[in-house]
């Protein structure tokens, strides 16, 4: 077998870097299944930007975080945080919301709560704000994409409250995402290695197969995704 060329070594490094990002996402979605299956967890649905996420009160690394964990709709303002990029990127498109858009909370013990967006604000990351209004909902993420310099805050006000929709509570559209990401990495990697020059093809193929095997293993035995992202966050430049 020929020694790998410089270009082949560079491509293998790129495959490994992409594999690390994929591994972070795979572990994120695999670890999050327990949260998603908990029908006692509230759910946020934002149709305009494709959000359908369970809310947890443990960690931002498990998806959309409720802070503080005890805030209850109609009794206190609801403040929700989500990553803009990586770890599922639940609030990636939050900037697309405009006044009048609908925000839906399915909250066990409370019901279905429909909010309407009333304000969009961008503030410095160290900005201190006292959230007020028992009928208010605040969605917070980093801004701009790839930076932690500012915070994007979407404010919604409660329009109406009705009986909870159990189908939404039971829904888990992300349960298979870890397997899908792993499968896409393997298929694209195999296709790329097939068309790569024959004299160095085996090096590319080996890198793809090894990384893919690790990804599929993580689908079954996930580790905390932050263990990976803490090591590679400098490549992304932020959250």
Locus of tokens 């028992």: 134
Select from 152, 170, 188 the last residue of a domain: 170
Same domain? For 68 and 161 the reply is yes
- Among the listed residues 104, 133, 102, 98, the one whose alpha carbon sits nearest the alpha carbon of residue 119: 98
Same domain? For 204 and 126 the reply is no
Same domain? For 55 and 156 the reply is yes
104 beta partners: 45, 114
Q: In sequence order, which ranges of 161-200 are alpha helices (DSSP H)?
A: 166-170, 177-195
Tokens of 204: 């590319």
Tokens of 166: 């159990």
Tell me what the pLDDT averaged over the chain comes to: 85
By the 8 A CB rule, do 181 and 25 touch?
A: yes
Same domain? For 100 and 197 the reply is no
What torsion do the CA atoms of 193, 199, 202, 204 make, to the nearest 10 degrees?
A: -50
Tokens of 190: 């195999």
The answer to whether residue 205 is domain-embedded is: yes
The answer to whether residue 1 is domain-embedded is: no
The answer to whether residue 99 is domain-embedded is: yes
Select from 120, 146, 170 the last residue of a domain: 170
The answer to whether residue 135 is domain-embedded is: yes
Best-predicted range by mean pLDDT (51-55, 86-90, 213-217): 213-217
Same domain? For 46 and 162 the reply is yes
The answer to whether residue 113 is domain-embedded is: yes
User: ∠ CA(137), CA(81), CA(222), 5° rounding?
Assistant: 140
The b-or-e profile of 20-31 (16+ CB within 10 A means b, else e) is: bbbbbbbbbbbb
Same domain? For 99 and 199 the reply is no
By the 8 A CB rule, do 63 and 32 touch?
A: yes
Select from 136, 170, 204 the last residue of a domain: 170
* Residue 99 in this model has a pLDDT that exceeds 90: yes
Same domain? For 96 and 128 the reply is yes
Tokens of 95: 């900037």
Same domain? For 199 and 131 the reply is no
Q: Which domain holds residue 155?
A: 38-170
Q: Rounded to 5, what percent of the chain is helix, strand, coil? A: 40, 25, 35
**CA–CA dist 20, 23 (Å, integer):** 5
Average pLDDT over residues 180-190: 95
Q: What's the pTM?
A: 0.74
- The structural domain count of the chain equals 2
Same domain? For 49 and 124 the reply is yes
**CA–CA dist 51, 225 (Å, integer):** 21
By the 8 A CB rule, do 131 and 77 touch?
A: yes
- Among the listed residues 85, 78, 87, 38, the one whose alpha carbon sits nearest the alpha carbon of residue 59: 87
Q: What pLDDT score does 56 carry?
A: 83
Same domain? For 188 and 211 the reply is yes
- Where residue 156 sits, what CATH number does that domain have? 2.40.260.10
24: confidence class by pLDDT, cuts 50, 70, 90 = confident
Same domain? For 124 and 217 the reply is no
User: ∠ CA(123), CA(125), CA(128), 5° rounding?
Assistant: 75
Same domain? For 59 and 166 the reply is yes
* Residue 75 in this model has a pLDDT that exceeds 90: no
The answer to whether residue 159 is domain-embedded is: yes
Specify the higher pLDDT residue, 231 or 183.
183
Name the E strands within the chain: 43-46, 51-56, 64-66, 78-81, 102-107, 111-124, 136-143, 150-162
């Amino acid at each position: 077998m020929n020694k790998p060329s410089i270009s082949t070594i560079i491509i293998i490094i790129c495959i490994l870097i992409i594999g690390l990002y994929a591994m972070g996402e795979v572990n994120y979605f695999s670890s999050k299944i327990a949260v998603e299956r908990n029908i006692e967890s509230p759910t946020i649905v934002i149709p305009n930007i494709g959000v359908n996420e369970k809310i947890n009160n443990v960690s931002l690394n498990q998806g959309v975080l409720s802070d503080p964990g005890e805030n209850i709709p109609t009794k206190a303002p609801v403040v929700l945080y989500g990553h803009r990029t990586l770890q599922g990127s639940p609030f990636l498109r939050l900037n697309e919301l405009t006044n009048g858009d609908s925000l839906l909370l399915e909250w066990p013990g409370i019901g279905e709560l429909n909010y309407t967006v009333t304000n969009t604000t961008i503030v410095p990351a160290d900005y201190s704000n006292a959230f007020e209004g028992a009928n208010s909902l605040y969605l917070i993420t980093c801004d701009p994409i790839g930076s932690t310099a500012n915070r994007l805050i979407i404010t919604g006000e409660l329009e109406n409250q009705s009986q909870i929709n159990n189908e939404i509570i039971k829904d888990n559209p992300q349960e298979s995402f870890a397997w899908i990401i792993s499968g896409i990495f393997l298929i694209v990697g195999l296709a790329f290695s097939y068309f790569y020059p024959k004299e160095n093809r085996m090096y590319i193929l080996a890198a793809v197969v090894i990384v893919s095997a690790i990804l599929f293993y993580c689908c079954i035995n996930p580790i905390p995704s932050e263990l990976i992202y803490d090591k590679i966050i400098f490549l992304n430049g932020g959250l």
